[in-house]
């Protein structure tokens, strides 16, 4: 008797496993249909929502863009630079900070390219990250930094550590150059001495450390940034190393870009800013973080209005700049974003906009 009941039970369990019970989600009976075969990457719903759309052609106040890249903006010739200046005039950018990613002769060539355009651009250099094991590394890197400074560099960056180190080429764990490495101490000190701010990309969006699967937060367009299961430091350890670097070098100005990759948790970012007076952040490429939490972000940007700088990091198309103005200046709702998240305008007050757009950059960067 007992075994017959057990057999029936197993039959029941097997049957249930084979034909899943019709699913109810939020009270709606889910049924099969044509949408079941659509690939995730092709999903692009059109919105029927009719709400005000505000076109902002030019920023409300003059803007210093503290995060651009010469290669990302596809700048090769003086004509390219001239075209960029024309766009900057149209959208309201006074000056663009250009990360050349270069040292040595490559940096000097960039200086020549931008020279005719005077104060419309400020060039930043990279740092020597080759042969980091050589005993003369720190001295060599600091010396080249000073040379770049004399050639016109007014900052260092963007330097990047997404967990596999900041050195040139790949090295095994333990051998890599992370921001708190003693070999960088001389370089960070030199930056303070020459009044060169550092733009540092530390960690990355936290979703990069989560598996690529049905609950991955960002779209398939961003999957090549994923680090899950790779031989890299964890998100948490990278933030820890950033903290050790900030603590060790209180006189050096660090601008952690992309809201220091803590834009998903503005309370945690606030704590970091409270703890380290030499930490500043740029908002570049994090339109999607502030746009999905407009009230929280507007409060944060008001409270830390002396600590956040405006940057783009997304090329130089006029529509890109205008997307930022709409996001920061208007109260428009349900704006389509870059990674499926809808944005809501922050409607920042004039004093916050002025600090974000220009005043913080005027105060913190080296304009001599």
Question: Would you say 310 or 344 has its CB closer to Zn ion?
Answer: 310
140: Cβ contacts below 8 Å, ≥ 6 apart: 128, 134
Question: Would you say 258 or 322 has its CB closer to Zn ion?
Answer: 258
Q: From the CB of 343, what's the least distance to Zn ion, in Å? A: 20
Q: From the CB of 65, what's the least distance to Zn ion, in Å? A: 11
Question: Would you say 138 or 253 has its CB closer to Zn ion?
Answer: 253
Residues in 50-69 that interact with Zn ion by CB under 5 A? none
Q: From the CB of 257, what's the least distance to Zn ion, in Å? A: 6
Q: From the CB of 157, what's the least distance to Zn ion, in Å? A: 8
282 binding Zn ion? (CB under 5 A): no
**Cα–Cα distance, 281 to 138 (Å, whole number):** 26
Length of the chain: 368
The 150-169 contact track toward Zn ion, x by CB under 5 A, reads --------x-----------
Q: Which structure tokens are listed for 261?
A: 């990759």
CA angle 174, 160, 229 (to 5 degrees): 55
Question: Would you say 180 or 313 has its CB closer to Zn ion?
Answer: 313
Q: Name the residue with the smallest CB distance to Zn ion.
A: 313
Q: Return the number of other C-beta atoms located less than 10 Å from residue 224's C-beta.
A: 6
Partnered with residue 256 across adjacent β-strands are: 200, 281
The 172-211 contact track toward Zn ion, x by CB under 5 A, reads ----------------------------------------
Q: From the CB of 168, what's the least distance to Zn ion, in Å? A: 18
Q: Which structure tokens are listed for 359?
A: 């005043």
Residues in 300-329 that interact with Zn ion by CB under 5 A? 313
Sign of the Cα torsion 171, 175, 178, 184 reads negative
Q: Which structure tokens are listed for 210?
A: 């989560």
Q: From the CB of 284, what's the least distance to Zn ion, in Å? A: 6
Extended strands (E) in the chain: 24-25, 28-29, 63-69, 93-99, 121-124, 156-161, 198-202, 254-256, 279-282, 308-309
Which residues in this chain contact Zn ion in the complex, by CB under 5 A? Answer: 158, 313
């Amino acid at each position: 008797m007992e075994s017959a009941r057990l057999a029936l039970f197993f039959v029941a369990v097997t049957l249930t496993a084979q034909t899943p019970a019709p699913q109810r989600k939020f009270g709606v009976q889910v049924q099969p249909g044509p949408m079941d075969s659509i690939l995730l990457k092709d999903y692009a719903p059109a919105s029927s929502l009719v709400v005000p759309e505000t076109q902002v052609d030019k920023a409300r106040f003059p803007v210093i863009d503290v995060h651009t890249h010469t290669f990302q903006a596809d700048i090769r010739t003086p004509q390219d630079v001239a075209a960029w200046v024309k766009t900057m005039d149209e959208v309201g950018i006074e000056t663009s900070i250009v990360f050349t990613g270069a040292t040595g002769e490559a940096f000097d060539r960039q200086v020549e390219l931008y020279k005719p355009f005077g104060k419309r651009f400020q060039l930043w250099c990279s740092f020597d990250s080759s042969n980091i094991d050589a005993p003369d590394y720190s001295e060599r890197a600091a010396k080249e930094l000073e040379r770049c400074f004399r050639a016109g560099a007014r900052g260092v960056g963007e330097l990047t550590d997404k967990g596999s180190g900041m050195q040139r080429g790949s090295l095994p764990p333990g051998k890599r150059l992370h921001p708190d490495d003693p070999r960088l101490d001389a370089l960070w000190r030199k930056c303070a001495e020459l009044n060169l701010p550092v733009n540092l990309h530390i960690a990355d969006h936290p979703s990069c450390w989560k598996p690529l699967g049905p609950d991955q937060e960002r779209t398939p367009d961003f999957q090549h940034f994923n680090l899950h299961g790779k031989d890299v430091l964890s998100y948490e350890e990278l933030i820890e190393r950033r903290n050790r670097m900030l603590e060790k070098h209180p006189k050096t100005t660090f601008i952690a870009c992309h809201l220091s990759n803590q834009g998903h948790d503005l309370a945690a970012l606030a704590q970091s800013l409270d703890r380290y007076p030499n930490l500043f952040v740029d908002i570049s490429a994090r339109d999607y973080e502030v746009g999905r939490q407009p009230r929280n972000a507007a409060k944060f940007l008001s409270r830390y209005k002396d600590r956040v700088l405006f940057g783009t990091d997304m090329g130089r198309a006029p529509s890109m700049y205008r997307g930022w103005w709409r996001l920061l200046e208007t109260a428009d709702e349900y704006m389509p974003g870059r990674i499926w998240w809808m944005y809501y305008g922050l409607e920042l007050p004039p004093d916050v906009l002025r600090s974000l757009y220009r005043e913080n950059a005027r105060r913190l960067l080296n304009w001599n």
